[in-house]
Copies of this chain bind each other. A is one copy, B any other.
Amino acid sequence: MDAYDSLQKFEVPEVIHGLGALSIVGRCARRLGGERILLVTDPGIIEAGWVDKTIGHLKEEDLKYVVYDNVVTNPRDFQVETGAQVYERNRCDVIVAVGGGSAIDTAKGIAILVSNHGRIYDYEGCNLVTQPVPPLVCVPTTAGTGADVTQMAVITDSKRAMKMLIIGRAIMPELALIDPLLLQTESPELIAATGMDTLTHAIEAYVSSLSWTLTDPHAIHAIELASEHLVHAVRYKDIPSLVGMSVACLEAGIAFSNAILGAVHALSHPLGGFYDIHHGLANAVLLPIVMNRNMEYSLEKYARIAKAMGADTEGLTIEAAARCALDKVRKIIEELELPSRLSTLGMNPKDIARLAELAKDDICMTTNPYCYSTEEIESLYREAW
Protein backbone atom coordinates (compact mmCIF):
# COMPACT_ATOMS: atom_id res chain seq x y z
CA MET A 1 0.00 0.00 0.00
CA ASP A 2 1.31 3.43 -0.83
CA ALA A 3 -0.31 5.81 1.60
CA TYR A 4 1.71 8.85 0.65
CA ASP A 5 -1.12 10.67 -1.10
CA SER A 6 -3.49 10.46 1.84
CA LEU A 7 -0.98 11.56 4.47
CA GLN A 8 -0.95 15.02 5.97
CA LYS A 9 2.01 17.01 7.10
CA PHE A 10 2.92 19.78 9.48
CA GLU A 11 6.26 21.49 9.47
CA VAL A 12 7.18 24.65 11.33
CA PRO A 13 10.60 26.14 12.06
CA GLU A 14 11.58 27.08 15.60
CA VAL A 15 9.60 30.22 16.49
CA ILE A 16 10.51 32.76 19.16
CA HIS A 17 8.01 35.59 19.49
CA GLY A 18 7.72 38.63 21.71
CA LEU A 19 8.38 42.31 22.27
CA GLY A 20 12.13 42.83 22.29
CA ALA A 21 12.96 39.51 20.62
CA LEU A 22 15.46 41.26 18.31
CA SER A 23 17.81 41.60 21.30
CA ILE A 24 18.66 37.88 21.20
CA VAL A 25 19.49 37.74 17.48
CA GLY A 26 23.23 37.54 18.20
CA ARG A 27 22.79 34.76 20.74
CA CYS A 28 20.62 32.82 18.28
CA ALA A 29 23.10 33.21 15.41
CA ARG A 30 25.92 32.09 17.71
CA ARG A 31 23.94 29.07 18.90
CA LEU A 32 23.47 28.02 15.27
CA GLY A 33 27.22 27.93 14.83
CA GLY A 34 27.59 31.42 13.36
CA GLU A 35 30.86 33.33 13.37
CA ARG A 36 30.51 35.39 10.18
CA ILE A 37 26.98 36.55 9.48
CA LEU A 38 25.53 37.62 6.14
CA LEU A 39 22.91 40.19 7.11
CA VAL A 40 20.34 40.46 4.29
CA THR A 41 18.14 43.55 4.45
CA ASP A 42 16.92 46.50 2.39
CA PRO A 43 17.72 50.24 2.42
CA GLY A 44 14.40 51.13 4.08
CA ILE A 45 15.17 48.89 7.05
CA ILE A 46 18.62 50.43 7.37
CA GLU A 47 17.06 53.88 7.39
CA ALA A 48 14.52 52.79 10.02
CA GLY A 49 17.45 51.96 12.31
CA TRP A 50 16.82 48.21 12.69
CA VAL A 51 20.03 47.17 10.97
CA ASP A 52 22.15 49.22 13.38
CA LYS A 53 20.31 47.63 16.28
CA THR A 54 20.83 44.17 14.79
CA ILE A 55 24.53 44.82 14.26
CA GLY A 56 24.80 45.94 17.89
CA HIS A 57 23.38 42.60 19.03
CA LEU A 58 25.69 40.67 16.69
CA LYS A 59 28.67 42.54 18.13
CA GLU A 60 27.59 41.68 21.69
CA GLU A 61 28.34 38.09 20.69
CA ASP A 62 31.61 39.01 18.94
CA LEU A 63 30.16 37.98 15.59
CA LYS A 64 31.62 39.28 12.35
CA TYR A 65 29.11 40.43 9.75
CA VAL A 66 28.62 41.81 6.26
CA VAL A 67 25.47 43.66 5.19
CA TYR A 68 23.81 42.86 1.84
CA ASP A 69 21.03 45.33 1.11
CA ASN A 70 20.49 44.87 -2.64
CA VAL A 71 16.88 43.85 -2.03
CA VAL A 72 13.74 45.17 -3.75
CA THR A 73 10.04 44.32 -3.81
CA ASN A 74 9.65 41.18 -5.93
CA PRO A 75 13.35 40.24 -5.56
CA ARG A 76 15.24 39.37 -8.75
CA ASP A 77 17.38 36.40 -9.73
CA PHE A 78 20.51 38.54 -10.22
CA GLN A 79 20.17 40.04 -6.75
CA VAL A 80 20.15 36.56 -5.27
CA GLU A 81 23.23 35.63 -7.31
CA THR A 82 25.17 38.72 -6.22
CA GLY A 83 24.21 38.03 -2.62
CA ALA A 84 25.55 34.49 -2.91
CA GLN A 85 28.88 35.90 -4.15
CA VAL A 86 29.02 38.24 -1.14
CA TYR A 87 28.34 35.29 1.20
CA GLU A 88 31.10 33.23 -0.39
CA ARG A 89 33.65 36.05 -0.66
CA ASN A 90 33.22 36.75 3.05
CA ARG A 91 33.16 33.07 4.03
CA CYS A 92 29.91 33.54 5.94
CA ASP A 93 28.32 30.67 7.86
CA VAL A 94 24.90 31.91 9.01
CA ILE A 95 22.39 34.18 7.25
CA VAL A 96 20.27 36.66 9.19
CA ALA A 97 17.44 38.28 7.18
CA VAL A 98 15.96 41.45 8.65
CA GLY A 99 13.13 42.73 6.47
CA GLY A 100 9.87 41.89 4.74
CA GLY A 101 9.15 38.98 2.43
CA SER A 102 11.56 40.32 -0.19
CA ALA A 103 14.59 40.29 2.13
CA ILE A 104 13.65 36.85 3.47
CA ASP A 105 13.09 35.38 0.00
CA THR A 106 16.40 36.87 -1.17
CA ALA A 107 18.08 35.25 1.85
CA LYS A 108 16.48 31.90 1.01
CA GLY A 109 17.70 32.19 -2.59
CA ILE A 110 21.23 32.98 -1.40
CA ALA A 111 21.13 30.03 1.01
CA ILE A 112 20.17 27.74 -1.88
CA LEU A 113 22.94 28.92 -4.20
CA VAL A 114 25.81 28.82 -1.69
CA SER A 115 25.10 25.20 -0.80
CA ASN A 116 23.53 23.74 -3.94
CA HIS A 117 25.36 25.88 -6.56
CA GLY A 118 24.14 26.31 -10.16
CA ARG A 119 21.59 29.01 -11.05
CA ILE A 120 18.48 29.89 -9.08
CA TYR A 121 16.27 28.76 -12.03
CA ASP A 122 17.48 25.20 -11.43
CA TYR A 123 15.42 25.04 -8.24
CA GLU A 124 12.03 26.30 -9.48
CA GLY A 125 9.40 23.79 -8.38
CA CYS A 126 9.08 21.30 -5.54
CA ASN A 127 11.90 19.71 -3.54
CA LEU A 128 14.67 20.36 -6.07
CA VAL A 129 16.94 21.76 -3.36
CA THR A 130 18.73 18.62 -2.19
CA GLN A 131 21.72 19.87 -0.17
CA PRO A 132 21.22 21.33 3.32
CA VAL A 133 21.41 25.12 3.29
CA PRO A 134 23.23 27.29 5.86
CA PRO A 135 21.23 28.21 8.99
CA LEU A 136 18.84 31.08 8.29
CA VAL A 137 17.46 33.32 11.04
CA CYS A 138 14.50 35.44 9.86
CA VAL A 139 13.52 38.65 11.63
CA PRO A 140 10.41 39.96 9.84
CA THR A 141 9.76 43.71 9.72
CA THR A 142 6.30 43.41 8.18
CA ALA A 143 3.25 41.41 9.23
CA GLY A 144 2.38 40.03 5.84
CA THR A 145 4.40 37.46 4.04
CA GLY A 146 4.97 34.79 6.70
CA ALA A 147 8.10 33.84 4.73
CA ASP A 148 9.91 33.45 8.06
CA VAL A 149 7.93 30.26 8.76
CA THR A 150 7.39 28.83 5.28
CA GLN A 151 9.27 26.44 3.08
CA MET A 152 8.70 28.63 0.02
CA ALA A 153 10.55 31.40 -1.75
CA VAL A 154 9.35 33.55 -4.64
CA ILE A 155 12.10 34.96 -6.87
CA THR A 156 11.47 36.90 -10.07
CA ASP A 157 13.09 35.58 -13.23
CA SER A 158 14.11 38.91 -14.76
CA LYS A 159 14.42 37.60 -18.33
CA ARG A 160 11.04 35.86 -18.45
CA ALA A 161 9.50 38.61 -16.25
CA MET A 162 7.84 35.99 -14.12
CA LYS A 163 7.84 34.81 -10.57
CA MET A 164 9.44 31.49 -9.80
CA LEU A 165 8.07 29.51 -6.87
CA ILE A 166 10.63 27.42 -5.01
CA ILE A 167 9.16 24.98 -2.49
CA GLY A 168 10.84 22.44 -0.27
CA ARG A 169 11.66 21.47 3.27
CA ALA A 170 15.33 22.27 2.65
CA ILE A 171 14.60 26.00 2.58
CA MET A 172 12.66 26.15 5.83
CA PRO A 173 14.40 28.79 8.00
CA GLU A 174 16.15 27.52 11.10
CA LEU A 175 14.53 30.16 13.31
CA ALA A 176 11.78 32.79 13.00
CA LEU A 177 12.64 35.50 15.52
CA ILE A 178 9.56 37.71 15.61
CA ASP A 179 9.59 41.07 17.37
CA PRO A 180 6.37 43.09 16.91
CA LEU A 181 8.28 46.28 17.83
CA LEU A 182 9.83 46.17 14.35
CA LEU A 183 6.42 46.83 12.80
CA GLN A 184 6.41 50.34 14.30
CA THR A 185 8.44 51.81 11.46
CA GLU A 186 6.21 50.44 8.69
CA SER A 187 4.22 53.03 6.72
CA PRO A 188 0.42 52.78 7.05
CA GLU A 189 0.28 51.86 3.33
CA LEU A 190 2.69 48.98 3.88
CA ILE A 191 0.82 47.74 6.97
CA ALA A 192 -2.37 47.75 4.90
CA ALA A 193 -0.91 45.95 1.88
CA THR A 194 1.03 43.35 3.86
CA GLY A 195 -1.90 42.88 6.25
CA MET A 196 -4.14 42.01 3.29
CA ASP A 197 -1.52 39.46 2.28
CA THR A 198 -1.80 37.88 5.76
CA LEU A 199 -5.61 37.82 5.60
CA THR A 200 -5.43 36.23 2.15
CA HIS A 201 -2.97 33.58 3.37
CA ALA A 202 -5.25 32.67 6.25
CA ILE A 203 -8.42 32.48 4.12
CA GLU A 204 -6.79 30.55 1.26
CA ALA A 205 -5.06 28.11 3.66
CA TYR A 206 -8.34 27.47 5.44
CA VAL A 207 -10.30 26.65 2.26
CA SER A 208 -7.36 24.78 0.71
CA SER A 209 -7.88 21.13 -0.16
CA LEU A 210 -4.78 20.34 1.93
CA SER A 211 -6.00 22.04 5.11
CA TRP A 212 -6.30 19.73 8.13
CA THR A 213 -6.56 19.51 11.91
CA LEU A 214 -3.16 21.04 12.57
CA THR A 215 -3.49 23.95 10.13
CA ASP A 216 -7.16 24.88 10.64
CA PRO A 217 -6.95 26.39 14.15
CA HIS A 218 -4.03 28.58 13.09
CA ALA A 219 -5.81 29.73 9.92
CA ILE A 220 -8.99 30.57 11.81
CA HIS A 221 -7.15 32.38 14.59
CA ALA A 222 -5.18 34.38 12.01
CA ILE A 223 -8.48 35.41 10.35
CA GLU A 224 -9.87 36.46 13.75
CA LEU A 225 -6.78 38.49 14.62
CA ALA A 226 -6.45 40.18 11.22
CA SER A 227 -10.15 41.10 11.23
CA GLU A 228 -9.79 42.57 14.69
CA HIS A 229 -6.47 44.38 14.32
CA LEU A 230 -5.67 45.28 10.71
CA VAL A 231 -7.65 48.51 10.30
CA HIS A 232 -6.65 49.64 13.78
CA ALA A 233 -2.97 48.87 13.14
CA VAL A 234 -3.01 50.96 9.96
CA ARG A 235 -4.66 53.91 11.70
CA TYR A 236 -2.95 53.96 15.08
CA LYS A 237 0.08 51.63 14.99
CA ASP A 238 -0.37 50.96 18.71
CA ILE A 239 1.44 48.02 20.29
CA PRO A 240 -1.60 45.74 20.90
CA SER A 241 -2.72 45.92 17.27
CA LEU A 242 0.83 45.42 15.98
CA VAL A 243 1.23 42.40 18.26
CA GLY A 244 -2.13 41.11 16.98
CA MET A 245 -1.05 41.48 13.34
CA SER A 246 2.31 39.90 14.04
CA VAL A 247 0.63 36.80 15.51
CA ALA A 248 -1.90 36.79 12.65
CA CYS A 249 0.95 36.77 10.14
CA LEU A 250 2.76 34.01 12.03
CA GLU A 251 -0.28 31.74 12.28
CA ALA A 252 -1.32 32.39 8.68
CA GLY A 253 2.23 31.47 7.66
CA ILE A 254 2.13 28.23 9.67
CA ALA A 255 -1.21 27.37 8.05
CA PHE A 256 -0.33 28.10 4.44
CA SER A 257 3.15 26.65 4.53
CA ASN A 258 1.48 23.31 5.25
CA ALA A 259 -1.89 23.66 3.49
CA ILE A 260 -0.62 25.77 0.55
CA LEU A 261 -2.83 28.52 -0.96
CA GLY A 262 -5.40 29.06 -3.69
CA ALA A 263 -6.55 30.97 -6.74
CA VAL A 264 -5.85 34.46 -5.34
CA HIS A 265 -2.16 33.65 -5.15
CA ALA A 266 -2.20 31.78 -8.46
CA LEU A 267 -3.56 34.91 -10.17
CA SER A 268 -1.46 37.31 -8.15
CA HIS A 269 1.95 35.75 -8.84
CA PRO A 270 2.00 36.58 -12.62
CA LEU A 271 1.00 40.18 -11.84
CA GLY A 272 4.09 40.58 -9.68
CA GLY A 273 6.31 39.18 -12.40
CA PHE A 274 4.78 41.22 -15.26
CA TYR A 275 4.19 44.61 -13.64
CA ASP A 276 6.12 44.54 -10.36
CA ILE A 277 2.82 45.17 -8.54
CA HIS A 278 3.07 44.87 -4.74
CA HIS A 279 1.94 41.36 -3.83
CA GLY A 280 -0.36 42.50 -1.01
CA LEU A 281 -2.14 45.07 -3.21
CA ALA A 282 -2.70 42.54 -5.98
CA ASN A 283 -4.14 40.13 -3.40
CA ALA A 284 -6.43 42.81 -1.99
CA VAL A 285 -7.99 43.35 -5.44
CA LEU A 286 -8.27 39.64 -6.23
CA LEU A 287 -9.43 38.28 -2.86
CA PRO A 288 -13.12 39.36 -3.01
CA ILE A 289 -13.40 38.42 -6.68
CA VAL A 290 -12.01 34.92 -6.12
CA MET A 291 -14.03 34.46 -2.90
CA ASN A 292 -17.20 35.32 -4.78
CA ARG A 293 -16.56 32.58 -7.34
CA ASN A 294 -15.03 30.08 -4.92
CA MET A 295 -17.85 30.28 -2.43
CA GLU A 296 -20.18 27.68 -3.87
CA TYR A 297 -17.42 25.05 -3.73
CA SER A 298 -16.78 25.46 -0.01
CA LEU A 299 -19.86 27.01 1.59
CA GLU A 300 -19.31 25.67 5.10
CA LYS A 301 -15.76 26.87 5.31
CA TYR A 302 -16.68 30.38 4.11
CA ALA A 303 -19.47 30.44 6.68
CA ARG A 304 -16.90 29.55 9.37
CA ILE A 305 -14.66 32.35 8.06
CA ALA A 306 -17.56 34.79 8.36
CA LYS A 307 -17.93 33.85 12.02
CA ALA A 308 -14.20 34.26 12.60
CA MET A 309 -14.46 37.73 11.06
CA GLY A 310 -17.10 38.68 13.60
CA ALA A 311 -20.22 38.32 11.44
CA ASP A 312 -23.43 37.36 13.22
CA THR A 313 -24.50 34.39 11.13
CA GLU A 314 -27.04 33.02 13.63
CA GLY A 315 -30.15 31.83 11.83
CA LEU A 316 -28.81 32.48 8.31
CA THR A 317 -28.78 29.91 5.54
CA ILE A 318 -25.33 28.50 4.84
CA GLU A 319 -25.20 30.51 1.58
CA ALA A 320 -26.05 33.75 3.35
CA ALA A 321 -23.58 33.02 6.14
CA ALA A 322 -20.80 32.34 3.64
CA ARG A 323 -21.63 35.60 1.85
CA CYS A 324 -21.04 37.50 5.13
CA ALA A 325 -17.35 36.58 4.82
CA LEU A 326 -17.22 38.37 1.48
CA ASP A 327 -18.98 41.42 2.94
CA LYS A 328 -16.49 41.55 5.81
CA VAL A 329 -13.51 41.35 3.45
CA ARG A 330 -14.96 44.11 1.23
CA LYS A 331 -15.53 46.29 4.28
CA ILE A 332 -11.92 45.94 5.44
CA ILE A 333 -10.62 46.81 1.94
CA GLU A 334 -12.91 49.83 1.86
CA GLU A 335 -11.83 51.02 5.30
CA LEU A 336 -8.19 50.64 4.29
CA GLU A 337 -8.92 52.66 1.10
CA LEU A 338 -7.05 50.13 -1.00
CA PRO A 339 -7.32 50.08 -4.80
CA SER A 340 -10.09 47.79 -6.00
CA ARG A 341 -9.09 47.47 -9.68
CA LEU A 342 -6.02 46.00 -11.33
CA SER A 343 -6.18 48.77 -13.94
CA THR A 344 -5.10 51.31 -11.34
CA LEU A 345 -2.17 49.04 -10.41
CA GLY A 346 -0.89 49.01 -13.99
CA MET A 347 -2.24 45.78 -15.44
CA ASN A 348 -2.53 45.75 -19.23
CA PRO A 349 -5.66 43.90 -20.42
CA LYS A 350 -3.77 42.83 -23.58
CA ASP A 351 -1.71 40.47 -21.38
CA ILE A 352 -4.70 38.62 -19.94
CA ALA A 353 -4.31 35.50 -22.08
CA ARG A 354 -0.64 35.10 -21.12
CA LEU A 355 -1.31 35.90 -17.46
CA ALA A 356 -4.08 33.32 -17.36
CA GLU A 357 -1.82 30.62 -18.76
CA LEU A 358 0.74 31.26 -16.04
CA ALA A 359 -1.93 31.38 -13.34
CA LYS A 360 -3.36 28.08 -14.58
CA ASP A 361 0.04 26.42 -14.10
CA ASP A 362 0.71 28.01 -10.72
CA ILE A 363 1.00 25.37 -7.99
CA CYS A 364 -1.40 27.37 -5.77
CA MET A 365 -4.24 26.63 -8.19
CA THR A 366 -4.03 22.91 -7.39
CA THR A 367 -5.19 23.39 -3.77
CA ASN A 368 -7.99 25.89 -4.51
CA PRO A 369 -11.47 24.47 -3.71
CA TYR A 370 -12.15 24.51 -7.49
CA CYS A 371 -9.62 24.27 -10.30
CA TYR A 372 -10.45 27.05 -12.78
CA SER A 373 -9.96 26.62 -16.53
CA THR A 374 -7.81 29.10 -18.44
CA GLU A 375 -10.99 30.72 -19.79
CA GLU A 376 -12.42 31.09 -16.31
CA ILE A 377 -9.15 32.61 -15.09
CA GLU A 378 -9.28 35.12 -17.96
CA SER A 379 -12.74 36.14 -16.89
CA LEU A 380 -11.54 36.56 -13.27
CA TYR A 381 -8.75 38.85 -14.48
CA ARG A 382 -11.22 40.82 -16.59
CA GLU A 383 -13.52 41.19 -13.63
CA ALA A 384 -10.59 42.48 -11.56
CA TRP A 385 -9.31 44.83 -14.24
Binding site for B on A (CB under 8 A): 1-4, 6-12, 14-21, 23-24, 169, 213-214, 217-218, 221, 247, 250-251, 254
Q: A214-B251, A217-B217, A221-B217 are known contacts. Are A18 and B8 too (CB-CB below 8 A)?
A: yes
Q: How far is the CA of A243 from the CA of B7 in the complex (A)?
A: 13
Residue of B nearest to A7 (CB): B18
A75 CB → nearest B CB, Å:
27
Is chain A's interface secondary structure helix, strand, loop, or mixed overall?
mixed
Q: Which of B1, B7, B221 contacts A213, CB < 8 Å?
A: B221
For A9, list chain B residues within 8 Å (CB).
Answer: 14-17
For A4, list chain B residues within 8 Å (CB).
Answer: 23-24
- 18 A-B pairs in the complex with CB atoms less than 8 angstroms apart: A1-B20, A3-B18, A3-B23, A3-B24, A4-B24, A7-B16, A7-B17, A7-B20, A8-B16, A9-B14, A9-B17, A10-B14, A10-B15, A11-B12, A11-B14, A11-B15, A17-B214, A213-B251
Residue of B nearest to A23 (CB): B3
Q: Which 3 A-B pairs have the closest CB atoms?
A: A3-B20, A217-B217, A7-B18
Q: How far is the CA of A186 from the CA of B4 in the complex (A)?
A: 24
For A20, list chain B residues within 8 Å (CB).
Answer: 1, 3, 6-7
Q: How far is the CA of A2 from the CA of B22 in the complex (A)?
A: 10
Q: How far is the CA of A20 from the CA of B1 in the complex (A)?
A: 8
Residue of B nearest to A220 (CB): B217
For A24, list chain B residues within 8 Å (CB).
Answer: 3-4, 7
Question: A10 to B2, Cβ gap below 8 A?
Answer: no
A95 CB → nearest B CB, Å:
19
Q: How far is the CA of A9 from the CA of B14 in the complex (A)?
A: 7
Q: Which of B1, B14, B17 contacts A169, CB < 8 Å?
A: B14
For A16, list chain B residues within 8 Å (CB).
Answer: 7-9
Q: Which of B14, B15, B23, B214 contacts A1, CB < 8 Å?
A: B23
Q: A1-B20, A3-B23, A23-B1 are known contacts. Are A15 and B214 too (CB-CB below 8 A)?
A: yes
Question: B15 to A3, Cβ gap below 8 A?
Answer: no
A273 CB → nearest B CB, Å:
31
For A251, list chain B residues within 8 Å (CB).
Answer: 213-214
Q: How far is the CA of A4 from the CA of B213 in the complex (A)?
A: 31
Q: How far is the CA of A214 from the CA of B169 in the complex (A)?
A: 21
Question: B213 to A247, Cβ gap below 8 A?
Answer: yes
Q: How far is the CA of A270 from the CA of B65 in the complex (A)?
A: 48
Q: How far is the CA of A93 from the CA of B254 in the complex (A)?
A: 30
A163 CB → nearest B CB, Å:
27
For A6, list chain B residues within 8 Å (CB).
Answer: 18-20
Question: B3 to A8, Cβ gap below 8 A?
Answer: no
Q: Which of B10, B18, B254 contacts A17, CB < 8 Å?
A: B10
A185 CB → nearest B CB, Å:
17
For A254, list chain B residues within 8 Å (CB).
Answer: 214
For A15, list chain B residues within 8 Å (CB).
Answer: 9-11, 214
Known pairs A7-B20, A213-B247; list 17 more (Cβ under 8 Å): A1-B20, A2-B23, A3-B19, A3-B20, A3-B23, A6-B19, A6-B20, A7-B17, A8-B16, A8-B17, A10-B17, A11-B15, A14-B169, A213-B251, A214-B251, A214-B254, A217-B221
Residue of B nearest to A27 (CB): B4
